[in-house]
Amino acid sequence: MSRLELRNVEARYGPVKVLHGVSLTVGDGELVAVLGANGAGKTTTLRAISGTVRRSGDLVFDGKALSRRTEVTARAGIAHVPEGRGTFSDLSVWENLRLGAYTRRGGIKEDAQRVFSFFPRLEARRNQQAGTLSGGEQQMLALGRAMMARPKLLLLDEPSLGLAPIVVTEIFGALERMKGEDGMSVLVVEQNANLALAHAARAYVLEVGNVVVDGTSDELRANESIRKSYLGY
């Protein structure tokens, strides 16, 4: 059964419609990528799921209709690491992690330990204000905060943006391990299509608010026009 299913989802900012009927599924424990040019509606697709943009259409999560209210989707087990990371810059690293586990009780120390084992750099900066972390560290914190929620579905918006290749490897490595340990599903938006396809089982390609191509990562890599437009070879 699929963990998340979108059927004909539309979304708008004020009067401007930006998603024109997006349909996609994410399976149990599956990592799915969303690709597309700037402005294609990738971020908006994630926001439609977490209820941070006005939307309509059918959204089914774990067999139930998904609430429009963001805090309810979070409590239902969806963690969204938004574009720009959304860390609380005034709060400490530890408080950010604690907020990640806001919807749960118990096992918080252990989970924080797990985050620190993935990202040792965060442990050294436990009491530092999150706003003073480097970009890579903030991305680690954002991911760590999402891990603390033990989500069923993780929505990730461009985790590799602006990061050194070694940090990207670190982050995707952590993602793979989390996915393995928790059986979590992941929907990831990436500009770096090669990277995304290397980790994703399947992918959807968005163009101006519509899904134009979808398939397994191998299928997409074999598709000549995808290769030309997104993979660059």
Partner 1 sequence: MLLAAFTWTEFAQQLAAGIREGAIYAGLALAIVIIYRSTRVINFAQGEMATFTTFIAWSLMNQGLSFWAAFPIVLAIAFTGGVAIERVLIRPVENAPVLTIVIITLGLALLLNGLMSMIWGGGNRQFHGPFSTRTIDVGGVPVSVQDIGIVVVSILLVVLLGFFFRFTKVGLGMRAAAVNRDSSRLAGVRVGWMLALGWGIAAVLGAVAGMMIAPVVFLDPNMMQTILLYAFAAAVLGGLDSPVGAVVGGILLGVTITLLGRYVGFIGSTLKLPAALLLILVLLLLRPGGLFGRVTVRRV
Ligand X SMILES: Nc1ncnc2c1ncn2[C@@H]1O[C@H](COP(=O)(O)OP(=O)(O)OP(=O)(O)O)[C@@H](O)[C@H]1O
- Sites of contact with ligand X (CB under 6 A): 13, 16, 18, 36, 38-44
Q: Which is nearer to ligand X, 144 or 209 (CB)?
A: 209
Least Cβ distance, residue 212 to Mg ion (angstroms): 17
Subset of 152-191 contacting partner 1 (CB under 8 A): none
Min dist CB 17 to Mg ion, Å, is: 17
Q: Helices (H), strands (E): how many in the chain? A: 10, 10
Name the burial class of residue 68, with classes exposed (0-12), middle (13-18) and buried (19+) by CB atoms within 10 angstroms of its CB: middle
What order of strands is seen across the sheet that includes strand 16-27? 16-27, 2-13, 54-61, 64-65
Which of positions 87-126 make contact with partner 1 (CB under 8 A)? 87-91, 95, 98-100, 102-103
43 interacts with Mg ion by CB under 5 A? yes
Nearest to 4 by CA among 21, 22, 28: 28
> Quick one: what does residue 135 bind among ligand X, Mg ion, partner 1, none, with the CB cut-off 5 to 8 Å set by partner type?
partner 1
The tokens describing 143, both together, are 């991911």
Give yes or no for a contact between 97 and 150, defined as CB atoms under 8 angstroms apart: no
Q: List residues near partner 1 by CB under 8 A.
A: 50, 52, 70-71, 74-75, 79-80, 82, 86-91, 95, 98-100, 102-103, 129, 131-135, 145, 149
